[in-house]
Amino acid sequence: MIMNRRQMLIGLSAAALPQPIRAEGSRVILRPTKVDMVVEGRLIEMIGFNNSVPGPEIRVGRNETLSARLENTLEEGTMIHWHGIRLPNAMDGVNVLTQDAVIPGGSFDYRFAVPDAGTFWYHSHYLSLDQVSRGMFGPLIVEELDPPEVDQDITIQLFDILTDAEGNFDRTFHTSHYTTEGRLGDVMMAFSSSYQTRVGERLRLRVINPSVDRVFKITLQGMSGVVVALDGMPLVAPQLLGDMVLAPGQRVDVIGDVDADVLVLESSSVEPLLLAKISATGSRDKRNAAITPLPPNGLPQPGRITQSVGLVMQGGAGGKPHGGFGSWAFNDVSGLPRAPLLSAQRGETILMQLRNDTAFPHGIHLHGHHFWETDERRAPTVLRDTTLVEAGETKEILCVFDNPGAWLIHCHMLSHQEDGMATWLQVA
Ligand SMILES: [Cu+2]
């Protein structure tokens, strides 16, 4: 569903997304193709998996094996990264570090077990600023063995598109895209897997931000409930639903009861924008059962800290000079250095100090693992795979590096990643 600012305020028309694909026991085929989308009344040429932007929602049960073949019918290389999944390194879909690009006409078989239930997503990790902005992403939902009782389990994907003066997809790149917040689109949107509900229904909303650079601030109206998971990982204590800030790559799971039409609002500016409306028609008896925490995924708890590593974000407009060749750098290096940022023995707990020495926020994403955010006493708080570090802010995270391989850590503002904000680490 695409709307411009005016349409968003006066009414919404829902476009049907493809039916979810169940992945147990059969191979999923993902084929990127050209897709025409209607944006502000004009056809825009995008690229989507299986003729759809977003790509089909893949659903699979926890501990099952996901088997997916990427068939590249594009005239350019590509590959798929499975964001947030703790998978074998060779399946991670990262250019150079874990695989070569799948060439036009080529294919690649991804096959891995999914150890954690939760809300994940997949996207191109090749020329990703360009390919993700053109639509190469989709949800990957790993279902609990005993899912919470809800009337609907709805996926909401936030996105934006940059258009030019004629309203066509703008593929030109300006220096300012790389040195500021990124290549923000002028048309914001949300794709919901359902647009109908009833007063009294209990909904699970899985909100995903696959946009390339935009930090969304989302307010939900018309329902009351709790946040039950962040980046796919259940919260021990669900948090009362309030404004939700999602950096690119992040996810928030909400369970709540419907009081009226459910409005998904972007509330960064004074005048909130309506991104999606799930209309309440009719009603059902409200559920009396309390909303309980989701079952934990059982990730290892942090142990004694054996290494402390600093990661300093540098560069951008107004930033101090640094030693890297790009607009952005980590620790004075732009792009992947020959030596890893850190080498960990399997099972080590490492403290990483993420220091944002720039004038812009960054969403730092670690591959192959989740990590703990910490409080002032360095006690672990919540598990994430992507954390938003505001301008001037320093965050300390704790990670148990128990997944062997060469793993990328980068800014998920893909303009920043492309212009230097990426490095890697080695787990033996
Ligand atoms: Cu960044």
Query: What pLDDT was estimated at residue 6?
Result: 38
For ligand 1, the distance from its centroid to the CA atom of residue 14, given in whole angstroms, is 32
The residues pairing with 190 across neighbouring beta strands, listed in sequence order, are 158
For ligand 1, the distance from its centroid to the CA atom of residue 162, given in whole angstroms, is 18
For ligand 1, the distance from its centroid to the CA atom of residue 293, given in whole angstroms, is 32
Name the CATH architecture for the domain at 5-283.
Answer: Sandwich (2.60)
CA distance 10 to 311: 45
For ligand 1, the distance from its centroid to the CA atom of residue 124, given in whole angstroms, is 18
Query: What pLDDT was estimated at residue 15?
Result: 63
For ligand 1, the distance from its centroid to the CA atom of residue 117, given in whole angstroms, is 28
The residues pairing with 352 across neighbouring beta strands, listed in sequence order, are 309, 397
Domain ranges of the chain: 5-283, 305-427
Fold observed for domain 305-427: Immunoglobulin-like (2.60.40)
For ligand 1, the distance from its centroid to the CA atom of residue 411, given in whole angstroms, is 5
For ligand 1, the distance from its centroid to the CA atom of residue 154, given in whole angstroms, is 29
- Please tell me whether residue 368 adopts helix, strand or coil conformation: coil
For ligand 1, the distance from its centroid to the CA atom of residue 421, given in whole angstroms, is 7
Q: 368: exposed, middle or buried (C-beta count within 10 Å: 0-12, 13-18, 19+)?
A: buried
For ligand 1, the distance from its centroid to the CA atom of residue 94, given in whole angstroms, is 18
pLDDT in tens, 92-146: 999 999 999 999 999 999 999 999 999 999 999 999 999 999 999 999 999 999 9
pLDDT in tens, 248-291: 999 999 999 999 999 999 999 999 999 999 999 999 999 999 99
For ligand 1, the distance from its centroid to the CA atom of residue 350, given in whole angstroms, is 22
Q: Do domains 5-283 and 305-427 have the same CATH topology?
A: yes
Instruction: Give me the residues of the chain with pLDDT under 50, please.
Output: 1-14
For ligand 1, the distance from its centroid to the CA atom of residue 388, given in whole angstroms, is 9
Residues 6+ apart with CB under 8 A from 255: 148, 150, 202, 203, 204, 205, 225, 226, 228, 238, 291
